[in-house]
Amino acid sequence: MASITPDHTIIYKRVGALEIPMDIYLPKKVGNAPVLLWFHGGGLLQGRRDLVSPHMRNGVQTYGFICISADYRLTPQVSVGDVFEDVKDCIQFIRNDLPAHLGENIIDGSRLAVSGSSAGGFLSLLAGLYIDPKPQVIVPLYPITDPLGTFFTNSQPAPNGRYSASTEELAEYLDVNASPIASSGKVPGDPRSHLYVYMLRKASLAQLWGIAAGDESAAGQYRISRQIHQHALPPAYVLHGDADTAVGVEQSDEVVGAMLGCGLTVKYERPHGQDHFLDNGDGYQNPALYEFIMQYL
């Protein structure tokens, strides 16, 4: 299958000398189209915007939405709070500034779905909790939901035999005083691509996100299921395989359970035997997911 490339790349935020871009995929027939905003995974430690899955790129023409894939600053050079500031600024840019860049009657930024894979799914949940006004719908895909949950506070083996780098090999990327970056992994063999596996082995997600040990009050806002009763969530479609070795499926179980307990709208697809990145193949299709999204856009 030929790769679908973005129609536009726009800088939505600058922090000092650092530019943070978004890629925009437009349908052929566009007129006040809704937006599906997607954030990449990588534990907020690594990754980049061009890793958006083929089914999401293909959905632009099939369903007529504008797909936006945005970068954000990476931890541990910034905190999880800084990353969420990027998410807030990205959504504000889409709603308030992007129409002027794209032209008249192209985009309807008030009709917004927010999705993301893994750590990007975590960002979509933060958007659903704390952005005002809330997105119409969120689509967390095998999301991290609790950096202090059992999965991330106990050492995990390297998923699928991936390389487990030493602290010495990753010292440059673990340096909190190094200059922030907003994407990684374009260069083959980029050592930063080993940070996620390193974090799993060290059980150090909260630490790398800048959440101080023992500071439960500060960490609480990032433990998604504990915030749902107070802040609620918009309608959500959650996808998480029950054999996920990179983010334990109980992370989604807790959030879905909390949503159901609060009487919120949620559809949970929990395919048996499926691991992380289950939707990344060229042949993957999920009409039910897109029917759910379009129902609210």
Q: What is the CATH number of the domain that holds 24?
A: 3.40.50.1820
- List, for the chain, all residue ranges whose pLDDT scores fall below the cut of 50: 1
Residue whose pair of structure tokens reads 């009763």 in the numeric block: 229
Comparing CA positions, the residue from 203, 184, 205 lying closest to residue 46 is 184
For 18, half-sphere exposure in the C-beta direction (CA atoms, 13 angstrom radius) is: 15
Task: State the pLDDT at residue 186.
Answer: 82
Task: State the pLDDT at residue 222.
Answer: 96
Task: State the pLDDT at residue 215.
Answer: 66
Residue 22 domain flag: yes
Task: State the pLDDT at residue 1.
Answer: 44
- Rounded Cα distance, 145 and 129, in Å: 12
Provide the number of structural domains found in the chain: 1
Residue 180 domain flag: no
pTM above 0.85, yes or no: yes
Which domain does 51 fall in, by range?
Answer: 8-145+222-296
Residue 213 domain flag: no
- Rounded Cα distance, 82 and 88, in Å: 10
- Rounded Cα distance, 247 and 152, in Å: 8
In this structure, what is the dihedral angle of CA atoms 131, 134, 139, 145, given to the nearest 10 degrees? 40
Task: State the pLDDT at residue 261.
Answer: 98
Residue 170 domain flag: no
Residue 47 domain flag: yes
Task: State the pLDDT at residue 198.
Answer: 97
Residue 109 domain flag: yes
Cβ atoms of residues 259 and 235 within 8 Å: no
Residue 212 domain flag: no
Residue 166 domain flag: no
* Three-class DSSP labels, 211-243: CCCCCHHHHHCCCHHHHHHHHCCCCEEEECCCC
Task: State the pLDDT at residue 214.
Answer: 67
- Rounded Cα distance, 200 and 151, in Å: 9
